[in-house]
Amino acid sequence: MQMTDNTILITGGASGIGLALAAAFMAAGNRVIIAGRRQAALDAAQAAHPGLAAYVLDVEDAGAITAFAARVTKDHPGLNVLVNNAGIMRAEDLLTPPGYLADAEAMIATNLVGPIRMTAALLPHLQSKANAAIINVTSGLAFVPLAMTPTYSATKAALHSHTMSLRHQLRDTNIEVLELAPPMVQTDLMPGQATNPHGMPLAEYIAEVMGLLAQTPTPPEICVGRVQFLRRAEADGQMAQVFGMLNPAG
């Protein structure tokens, strides 16, 4: 992936991994646009990072994505990198239906359908740009699920599969397709996660990611060292053991 002189759109970019990536890409000499649901969070992000462009967007809304794609490409015709980062993660108790269904449907709409819609809306534009890239943010839980977050884990597994197919279909185009699969990182994705001592510090995570992205050629999967035990669990014949570690029975 070209590391400088891009115009990069990051969904879910007002906080967490999205905002940290935005800051790192800006520092590397890129123009960065973020999109998110909350105007207050976008305003705070812009105040902290002068020069950052920001738009309100709910990726659950199909019509909003279509209108947004038209607006952002008009405002930023140089846009050549899409980072599908927006995501939500909620615990679910599958023994108490239908109470968890609203959360499950929201995660599917945000984490899976949202990136597919956003990619479809921007693909014709990206095909016209040199050094274009699509980066889909999945999770280590795409490879070994966390049982307390079954739908989140499933959406990330589905996005991993979709990304593989997208990469294959675009193999003869100008668009590079990458997957970013984080481990648990100290952000506010889930209550208490930002201070969880088992989480990877956000700054450490972003630094390692930027180093991997800068490799030539860029690896199709951006997997930092701390996520490899999840990514390689099945290939190493350790699926049952790693699943049990994540999901203790007692």
Structure confidence by residue, pLDDT tens digits, 154-187: 999 999 999 999 999 999 999 999 999 999 999 9
Residue 100 maps to a domain = yes
Determine the pLDDT at residue 90. 96
Number of domains in the chain: 1
Residue 207 maps to a domain = yes
| CATH code, 72 | 3.40.50.720
DSSP category for residue 222: E
Give the integer Cα–Cα distance in Å for 250 and 247.
9
User: What does pTM read for this prediction?
Assistant: 0.97
Residue 1 maps to a domain = no
Of the candidates 55, 100, 152, 205, the residue annotated as catalytic is: 152
Per the structure, the complete domain to which residue 209 belongs is given by: 7-246
CB-based contact 40:10 (threshold 8 Å)? no
Give the integer Cα–Cα distance in Å for 213 and 113.
25
Helix (H, G, I), strand (E, B) or coil at 208: helix
Residue 2 maps to a domain = no
Residue 237 maps to a domain = yes
Determine the pLDDT at residue 135. 98
Determine the pLDDT at residue 184. 98
Beta-bridge partner residues of 135: 83, 178
Is 55 tagged catalytic? no
- Segments of the chain with pLDDT less than 50: none
